[in-house]
Amino acid sequence: MQTHEIRRRFIEHFTKNGHTEVPSASLLLDDPNLLFVNAGMVPFKPYFLGAQTPPFDTAVSIQKCVRTLDIDEVGITTRHNTFFQMAGNFSFGDYFKEGAITNAWSLLTDSVDDGGFGIDPDRLWVTVYLTDDEAADIWRDKVGIPAERIQRRGMADNYWSMGVPGPCGPCSEIFYDRGPEYGAPGGPEADEDRYIEIWNLVFMENERGEGSGKDSFEILGPLPKKNIDTGMGIERVAFLLQGVENVYETDLLRPVIETAEKLTGAVYGRTHEDDVRFRVIADHTRTGYMLIADGVTPGNEGRGYILRRLLRRIVRSARLLGAEGETMAEFMAVVRDSIGPSFPETVDMFDRIAKVAVAEETAFLKTLESGTALFERTAESTKSAGRKMLSGSEAFTLHDTHGFPLDLTLEMAAEAGLEVDEAGFRELMAEQKARAKADSKSKKHAHADLSVYRPFLDLGDTRFLGYDELTGEGEVVGLVRDGEAVNEVAEGDSVEIILDRTPFYAEAGGQLGDRGLITTDSGARVEVGDVQKIGKRLWVHRATVTSGGLELGQSAAAEVNPLWRKGANQAHSGTHMVHAALRQILGDDAVQAGSLNRPGYLRFDFSSTDAVPSDVLAQIEELTNSAIDADHEVNTIETSLKKAKNMGAMALFGENYGDEVRVVEIGGPFSIELCGGTHVSSSAQIGPVVFLGESSVGSGVRRVEAYVGMDAFRHQARERAVLSGLATALKAPADQVQDRVDSLSDRLKNAEKEINSLRSAQLAANAGQLVDKAERVGELLLVSETVPEGTSAGDLRQLAQDLKGRLGSEPGVVFLTAKDGDKVPFVLGVTKAAQDTGLKAGDLVKAIAEPLGGRGGGKPDMAQGAGTNPDGIGAATSRLRSALQG
């Protein structure tokens, strides 16, 4: 049974039983605790927590997931994938344990003709939580599984959570017995290679707190409702129903392995080491493909680092198998063809996906080349020292500084007749990981405690009036001060105010929250400085009470600052125009990677591996302003998500859209996006958009910044004033200022060269006088001088060489310093005769560097350095005299 058929049967089984089909969310969701969606229930988390009311009582989905904690296990075991499809059915206060168990059993064991998977019931075992008698009884009495095939396990195995604060509960897992040829008898407790877990039924009824591990966390209390969350691994079921040995040999991944065989010349199935590499290529290519499709680009931290590591492991594995050139484009094309029927939207993105992956491969191949050269030097020095082993620190330097994988180091060391201190390497890696983990933990956002807002959520959603009105009357339904709900607040308090209705826009989609006032008939005046959403349902006005007091239940007038909103509308609509212009000029690969807009300013991040040339940026700016000048009507349409996508509306990565969405259309096909923000009514109201520049904000991500409206006008006015001032000062027309400045710059450079030449000549002319002033220190002559300010380090060195030559056969030392602002370049030279007495410039320079506030070094005849303490020249000279006398 092909993977796409398994997906289809799962969805049909549950939709026939009344479940609402929910499409997969992006791998990137706005959750501070997760890099990627790692479980099928993650998109439904607000429903389980009670932060949002689900629009359905039961649901079914096949969610794309990524887990990278076990990345080093990929290819070694038969069941680890970094990317996988989690099929799940969900109940939000509807059915509970019995419904979940019987639904799962019927799909697994019903015949293929009846829409099931046709699995032999005698091959299935189940586990339940230690104290869960209810689940065990259902399995035995309702389903009919013999008691000996029901095993009870502890919290680490049968109590589910996401590993972070959130929903949790006991679970029941279903295992498939592959047979005695795969391991020992005795059920999952005995051997989880023979008994493969295929479905986990979570009876979600509690909320967990902070803690580490799978069984070391606090249970905070019950969830608002008892819920069901199940997860069936599509890949695991596929490899069992397709009769292959592991998840890497299914219909979706085996084609990648076959392509790797063609490109490398190696054969799958001959050696365990090579098989692991083939599996790594297959698994990581698919994961990389899906991550890039959802907007991730390679980088050095967070999501970007995970993607970079995956792509580089593909390159490394292909090289170890024998590949000599680039392979990434072909691997990605195979994944496109195999996974396209399940995720057709990625097929249209393929050009961008391949471009990002190939760029990373090209960069890493250069890294491997430089790392190979360093390895060869390290190996040669190891042999020259009579050693047989590369140290752990040498292997670690290759890995950490040059990105050189350990297994390549091991292979090349063996070819060179050397060993590698793997234990030392792994110890250094462990120390690095510990530091990284501690750093990550210190920076990681804590899980937001939403419990204080729960009573307000239960009262219903905030009604947003701001699309049509800037003022409105509302009731104060919630007050939060210092993290606690209160009944009243007084003058001077910083408070969060929740109204049942509000015209204030809450920050979302890159648009900052509104500013304004909340007032009451009793004289209260509250200045609103920010507005945020809780659970996408509750508007929280963060404000300061400047006079009077506020109580629960009061009526209040809310008024948005009209200038703030006007500017915000201009910036947000301007962002849409910039996005559309970027895509027209750069192509559809310029995918949005983030944005921010506030009154008068916008910034827009987009995916690109290359900087945008200035002339191209000028084209984008002109196209943006031409579209604005065309005075296009701005239309907003509320429709279904499916119809919006059919209209060509673009959705943002990481956003979890509901069934009903809001489409903002500007100029027909010019710009059409899913957006919940506020906008101008026609494009001409945006005013001018003036680009400030384009820059990099990370690997594969570029940023455009711009002023909008009156801020753009003021910026241009300032620029015009500067140009006018320059034109007046240079006595040239404005259009000739650039040429005049270039001419003056060239003349200045030539004058500086001439001055330096004259300075060098003057120094050379004074060299004889300096030698005449040399003082005798013991048997040595010492020439010490602070030369005129502005003398470069190069001139100092040339003068020192000249003075050494003038000292002839005399044993002598030359010490020259210069003042260059707060810096002190210095040079110390030692004649041949002085070197014969044992003096070395490199040693002497260390004695004089400290008083100068710097450091230096060099060879026996000449050393130099720089300091930051001009007042220490006298002390440095005294130290030198003492050293020479010694």
Q: How many CA atoms lie within 13 A of 646 on its CB side?
A: 5
Give the structural domain span for 807: 763-885
Residues 656 and 575 in one domain: yes
Residues 511 and 575 in one domain: no
Q: Which of 414, 443, 472 is the last residue of a domain?
A: 443
Q: Which of 537, 560, 583 is the last residue of a domain?
A: 560
Residues 272 and 407 in one domain: yes
Longest dimension (CA), the chain: 111
The pLDDT of residue 795: 80
Stretch among 40-54, 253-267, 466-480, 624-638 having the lowest mean pLDDT:
40-54
What are the φ/ψ torsions at residue 357 (nearest 5 degrees)? -65, -45
- CA-CA distances (angstroms) from residue 30 to 164, 508, 655? 15, 11, 8
Q: What is the Cα–Cα distance from 214 to 211, expressed in whole angstroms?
A: 9
What are the φ/ψ torsions at residue 870 (nearest 5 degrees)? -60, -25
* Spatial CA neighbour of 628 closest among 593, 679, 592, 704: 679
At position 494, the amino acid (one-letter code) is S
Strands of the 601-607 sheet, one edge to the other: 592-598, 601-607, 701-708, 689-698
Q: How many CA atoms lie within 13 A of 552 on its CB side?
A: 10
Whether residue 402 is predicted with pLDDT greater than 80 in this model: the reply is no
- Which positions ≥6 away from 8 have C-beta within 8 Å? none
The pLDDT of residue 436: 53
Write the pLDDT tens digit of every residue in 149-196: 999 999 989 998 877 777 889 999 999 999 999 999 999 999 988 999
The pLDDT of residue 451: 66
| Residue pair 366/374 in contact by the 8 Å Cβ criterion | no
DSSP notation for 131-172? T-HHHHHIIIIII---GGGEEEE-HHHHEEE-SSSEEEEEEE
What are the φ/ψ torsions at residue 165 (nearest 5 degrees)? -55, 140
CATH number at residue 46: 3.30.930.10
Residues 541 and 609 in one domain: no
| Residue pair 122/81 in contact by the 8 Å Cβ criterion | no
Q: What is the Cα–Cα distance from 829 to 478, expressed in whole angstroms?
A: 78
Mean of the per-residue pLDDT values of the chain: 88
Neighbours of 627 (CB within 10 A): 23
Say whether 815 sits in a helix, a strand or coil. Answer: strand
Does 399 show up as a binding residue in the annotation? no
The pLDDT of residue 29: 79
Q: What is the Cα–Cα distance from 688 to 574, expressed in whole angstroms?
A: 9
Write the pLDDT tens digit of every residue in 8-37: 999 999 999 999 999 999 998 766 668 899
Do the domain assignments include residue 734? no
Write the pLDDT tens digit of every residue in 692-706: 999 988 767 889 999
Does 572 show up as a binding residue in the annotation? yes
* Higher local confidence (pLDDT), 441 or 22: 22
Whether residue 844 is predicted with pLDDT greater than 50 in this model: the reply is yes
Residues 198 and 296 in one domain: no
What are the φ/ψ torsions at residue 800 (nearest 5 degrees)? -60, -40
What are the φ/ψ torsions at residue 213 (nearest 5 degrees)? 75, -175
* Spatial CA neighbour of 575 closest among 477, 680, 498, 653: 680
Residues 554 and 421 in one domain: no
Does 576 show up as a binding residue in the annotation? yes
Do the domain assignments include residue 757? no
Query: Exposed, middle or buried, 397 (CB in 10 Å: 0-12/13-18/19+)?
Result: middle
Residues 520 and 660 in one domain: no
Do the domain assignments include residue 333? yes
Does 65 show up as a binding residue in the annotation? no
The pLDDT of residue 760: 67
Whether residue 441 is predicted with pLDDT greater than 50 in this model: the reply is no
Do the domain assignments include residue 748? no
Residues 417 and 482 in one domain: no
Residues 588 and 554 in one domain: no
* Spatial CA neighbour of 673 closest among 645, 638, 649: 649
Q: Per the structure, how many domains does the chain have?
A: 5
Q: How many CA atoms lie within 13 A of 83 on its CB side?
A: 26
Q: Which of 534, 560, 586 is the last residue of a domain?
A: 560
| Residue pair 520/554 in contact by the 8 Å Cβ criterion | yes
Q: What is the Cα–Cα distance from 733 to 229, expressed in whole angstroms?
A: 73
Angle among Cα 42, 44, 45 to the nearest 5 degrees reads 65
